[in-house]
Amino acid sequence: MKTRESTFRKTLRRAAVPALALTVLAFFGAYAILGPNGVLAYGDYKRQLAKREKDFAVLDKRREVLRNRVALLNPDHANPDMVDEMVRKELNVAHPDEVIVPLDPK
C-alpha cells in the first residue's frame, strides 16, 4: 500500500508546478480578454472616442464663434454693430421704435 500512496504523491508533486503555471496563464489570459483594458473593452473605448470627437467638434465651432466675436471687439478697429449690440444687451436699453429679436436662446 505504501508504494501506491507514494506513487500518487510523487505524481501529485510533479503535476503541481505545471498546474500552477496553467492557472496563472489562465488568469492572465482571462484578464487580457475580460479586464478593463482587455479585448472586450475596445468597443467601449471606440464609442467613447466617437462621442468625445463629436463633443470636440461642437466646442471647436463654439470657439471659432467666440474668436470671431473677440476679433470684432478689438479696440484698434472695433465693429460698431457688435459694440452697439453688446452695449444694448448689457444695459438693456433700446429705442421705442426698435424691435429686439433675441438670437441666443440663453
pLDDT tier for residue 11 given thresholds of 50, 70 and 90: confident
pLDDT given for residue 23 in this prediction: 96
> What total of structural domains would you count in the chain?
2
Domain assignment of residue 82, given as a range: 42-106
Domain co-membership, 21 together with 52? no
Q: How far apart are CA 100 and CA 78, in angstroms?
A: 22
Domain co-membership, 56 together with 102? yes
Domain co-membership, 24 together with 52? no
Confidence check: pLDDT of 46 > 80: yes
pLDDT given for residue 88 in this prediction: 78
Confidence check: pLDDT of 73 > 90: no
Domain co-membership, 1 together with 50? no
pLDDT tier for residue 26 given thresholds of 50, 70 and 90: very high
Q: How far apart are CA 37 and CA 41, in angstroms?
A: 6
Domain co-membership, 30 together with 65? no
Domain co-membership, 69 together with 52? yes
Domain co-membership, 52 together with 87? yes
